[in-house]
Amino acid sequence: MIQWNIRTAQHLRVTIRSNILLSLRVMILDKRYEYYLHWSTLKGLNDSKDVEVPHKILYKEASYRVSYRIAQQGEAHTIAESLIKPCVKDVVTSMIGEVHAKSIDCVLLSDTTISRRVKGISNFCDYELIRRLKAYEHGFTIQLDETTDIAGLSILLVIVRYIQGTVAQENMLICKSLPTRITVEEIFNIVNSYFKKHDIYWVLYHQACTNGERQCFKAKD
């Protein structure tokens, strides 16, 4: 869980975040049919004649936006329903009216929902980054680094750098826990396995900036 949270937090702090909410809106619209089927089972809305279809999409988008903020700040997922939703309802009630505040109940913010949303955002970031790397014909460079989590366990970080349009981009590619002792060949195998899993070709790779593991990447050449 610590490893996954680090990876998610890193993803949400890099350049992709500038377009993530717009991309999520597109993703939500693309899945509208699946979502409508899910929505029809929600308590209290089955027989509602007043809820327009666009509102349902906006409710889900609002849920994603809150999940995104929670992931950015590294807060517990329970905070959405225990604190954020009541606060939003108080603000809307005070400034707009109680009738409008009732619509806040339509925004799903349970801890399980937030967890699912954050995981969806993380998966989307992975998908979008891999798509960019494959589409960029001029290739990319990577940087390998090591850090530790709050438990003192070693974490391998692989940062990828590439050009999108005329702008240099830097994103987290791999975040994986490491055993106490590991060889440079094993580090290379971790990266190689990730490339194979996602069909990323080594021909796109140009150079690696490392802290001593350069030999294992030279061997690839």
Per residue in 150-169, pLDDT (tens digit) is: 777 788 888 899 888 788 88
Q: What does the pLDDT look like over 58-94, one tens digit per residue? A: 888 889 889 988 988 889 999 999 999 999 999 999 9
pTM here is 0.63
Q: Dig out the tokens for 79 from the structure.
A: 């905070």
Q: Say whether 130 sits in a helix, a strand or coil.
A: helix
CA atoms within 13 A on the CB side of 41: 4
Angle ∠(169,170,175) on CA atoms, nearest 5: 150
Enumerate the β-bridge partners of residue 158.
144, 174
> What was the pLDDT predicted at 221?
45
Of the chain, the end-to-end C-alpha distance in Å amounts to 35
Residue 156 backbone phi and psi in degrees, to 5? -85, 125
pLDDT computed for residue 52 by the predictor: 47
Residue 7's Cβ-count burial label (10 Å; 0-12, 13-18, 19+) is: buried
What is 56-100 written as a DSSP string? HHHHHHHHHHHHHHHHHHT--TTHIIIIIHHHHHHHHHHHT-HHH
Q: Is 213 exposed, middle or buried (0-12, 13-18, 19+ CB in 10 A)?
A: buried
Backbone phi, then psi, for 205, in 5-degree steps? -80, 135
